[in-house]
Chains A and B, each alone.
Chain A
Amino acid sequence: MSDSVASISPRGMTWARRKRALARVWRELRNDRSGFSGLLILLGFGLVALCAPLIADRSLLLAAAGRNNPDLAGPSAKFLLGTDDIGRDILAQLVWGSRVSLFIGIFATVVAVLIGSLVGLVAGYVKGKVATVLLAIDNFFLVVPFLPLAIVLAVILGRSPVTLALVIGFTSWAGSARLVRAQVLSLSERGYVERARALGANSRHVILRHILPGVAPLIIANATLIVPGAILTESTLSFLGFGDRLSPSWGKLLDGAQSSGSITLNAWWYYLPPGLCIITVVLAFTLFGRALERIFDPRLAGR
């Protein structure tokens, strides 16, 4: 510690602090068995999604690729997870589908968290009419049945993965706005915020130095919990036929399995793998998110 004293600079200080905070989070995460296994599972899926082109060629997804293959064939050495109703390799679709599902899940979460944090921050920090209006909007999005809303929006806006992610993000920010607002309200009552004001700080300083660092961990933990919801929503939309016809997401695989009658034909290799993938990823994100929440949220800390 003594050597770092000599080289104190604002930047060095901040970095030293971040390093310490990260080390603490890592240590606690390592000790949290369920949270850590969640993280490992997610890393595995992430790796598969990134390496998709190495595992299966993208051309295998085309309808033409299955022309010469048997339809609805069971698992074999050539097709590890069998083929679908038009003879395409299911493993290839599953691997490429992880890309779409994870992309939509994460991108939708980023959108939701951005909107949610902004609304929560403003509603918590600015009092008066603005806050009232924002809270009313927030309440609307909290209570409106969001699947019909998402369906309507998806139909109007089109069905590319990006628009789907935007739609899902736009319909699932209300909860995090609530959370952020509550935390901001509590933080802005703290003595150190009053002290900063008395020192002459403006709102910008107070928000950047005291409020945001205080809500950031909560936002991160909350985000990891939104991802599984977004993935499920994407799957639901795709399964209902409102997904992107051209991108092979897990939801779309399930949709294909259902419409081809694979369940009655007992072609389990068609519907089971995407279902299991969805469940596993959702579970892993939830385990990881809950662990982060335990680590970050002061209210849960001392249990």
Chain B
Amino acid sequence: MSSNKQYSGNALLELRDVHVAYPSRRRGGSVARAVDGVQLTLQPGEIVALVGESGCGKTTLARAILGLQQLSQGTIQFDGESIPTDAAGKKLFRRQVQIVFQDPTASLNPRQSVYEIVAEGLRIHGNSENEHKIVSAALERCGLHPADRYLLRYPHELSGGQRQRVVIAGAMVLEPRLLIADEPVSSLDASVRGEILKLLQDLARDKNMAVLVVTHDLGLPWNIADRIAVMYLGRIVEIGTTEDVLARPKHPYTRALLSVVHEHLQLEQQILKGDTPDPTSISRGCRFNPRCPMVQSGEAERLGILQKCLNDDPVLPNKQNNDHIAACHALNI
């Protein structure tokens, strides 16, 4: 117990049993359990990738960490303390946690110049001393040099990669301790992708900044992440170091995901049937059982765990920070 406490003292971000539910937009009013019991810790300077299909709750979770989405249950602690609810505390918290969105074009106000965009965070937090210097430094740090050439440009005069650099620079002026990157490269051209990822990795190392990268792409964590968390229907089903999870996946869902990624040539293709699952109707027992290849092939029955798969919700075992763990009944035989 005591070791546990000490551990949470070091963590930069700690999520405990986080739930986010909202009424479904469709008729019928059933509740969507977008995030359904997530535990996750982030150490300072660490890059963690949150991987999953659309609708698995990864973006909702990111928004919840930013405080843009209310929790229906559970706690999020930043630097050992709960996220403040009063205006002043909230503002201070926002300074330390920044986000980079998927589409840089949408995240930039077309009426603002690069200078105004990057300086916006400083102005919001009332830090106008040396504004010009800080803005220029941030732009150059993010690969736009000489900064003077970009300051007076407008977003439409920049390429997609340059726009994403501007967004990142706008976040970096506040010197955040945690950066959430929501699909930071998926709307960019392939050849530009690597440069942006390299920038994120370098920033994390240089500034000892933790980065939570939300992505559907398993190649991205191999490029930059220290650890991977695989999400399925609102829950983390497997987590561990990137090498462990990608080289020796434990959960059948992770195995299936990896097998269809063409950059990974060792596994036999295992294409799951059906559509992306729906968070308004999470099945009883293991949430993956309707699509699980082990259930469908009869392997679960052979192993004698089928009843458990259909009735008991598997939980992630307790763990140390870097343990490789997965929530699957087949692992506890």
Q: Using a CB–CB distance below 8 Å, which chain A residues touch chain B?
A: 1-2, 4-5, 8, 10, 13, 16-17, 190-192, 194-202, 205, 209-210, 213-214
Query: Contact: A200 with B124, CB < 8 Å?
Result: yes
B175 contacts the other chain (CB 8 A):
no
Known: A4-B152, A5-B152, A214-B111. A200 touches B121 (CB 8 A): yes
Flag the segment in B17-25, B102-110, B228-236, B239-247 that touches A: B102-110
Q: How far is the CA of A6 from the CA of B167 in the complex (A)?
A: 23
Chain B neighbourhood of A210, CB < 8 A: 109
Residue from the list B90, B148, B170 in contact with A199, Cβ < 8 A: B170
* Complex-state Cα separation, A276 to B306, whole angstroms: 88
Residues from chain A with a CB closer than 8 A to the CB of B109 are: 190, 192, 209-210
A16 and B167: CB pair below 8 A?
no
Q: A1-B152, A191-B105, A191-B107 are in contact. List 11 more A-B contacts (CB 8 A).
A: A8-B132, A10-B123, A13-B113, A16-B152, A191-B108, A198-B68, A199-B124, A200-B125, A200-B174, A210-B109, A214-B111
Which residues does chain B contribute within 8 Å of A209, judged by CB atoms? 109, 120
Q: In the complex, what's the smallest C-beta–C-beta distance from B157 to chain A, in angstroms?
A: 12
List 22 A–B pairs whose Cβ atoms lie within 8 Å, in order of A's numbering: A8-B132, A8-B152, A10-B116, A10-B128, A13-B115, A16-B152, A191-B108, A192-B106, A192-B108, A194-B101, A194-B107, A195-B107, A195-B108, A198-B66, A198-B68, A199-B121, A199-B124, A200-B90, A200-B121, A200-B174, A205-B124, A209-B109
Report B's interface with A, CB cutoff 8 A. Answer: 66, 68, 87, 90-91, 94-95, 98-99, 101, 103, 105-109, 111, 113, 115-116, 119-121, 123-125, 128, 131-132, 148, 151-152, 167, 170-171, 174
The number of inter-chain residue pairs (CB within 8 angstroms) is: 76
Among A5, A197, A213, the residue within 8 A (CB) of B68 is A197
Residues of A within 8 A of B108 (CB): 191-192, 195
Given contacts A4-B152, A194-B101, A199-B170, contact A17 B94 (CB under 8 A): no
CB pair B106 A201 closer than 8 Å: no
Instruction: Decide if B66 touches A191 in the complex (CB within 8 Å).
Output: no
CB neighbours (8 Å) of A13 from chain B are 113, 115-116, 152
Provide the residues of chain A in CB contact with B128, threshold 8 Å. 10
- For B152, list chain A residues within 8 Å (CB): 1, 4-5, 8, 13, 16
Report A-chain residues with C-beta under 8 Å of the C-beta of B111. Answer: 17, 213-214
Kindly state the separation between the CA atoms of A191 and B108 in the bound complex, as whole angstroms: 7
Docked pose: A213 CA to B120 CA in angstroms: 15
Judge whether A5 and B148 touch: CB under 8 Å: yes
Contacts of B99 in A (CB 8 A): 195, 198
Distance A13 CA – B121 CA, assembled complex (angstroms)? 16
Residues of chain B within 8 A (CB-CB) of A198 are 66, 68, 94, 98-99
Which residues of chain B come closer than 8 Å to A1, judged between CB atoms?
152
List B contacts of A205 (CB < 8 A): 124
Q: How far is the CB of A219 from chain B (nearest CB, A)?
A: 15
Tell whether, in the assembled complex, residue B94 and residue A199 are in contact, meaning their CB atoms are under 8 Å apart.
Answer: yes
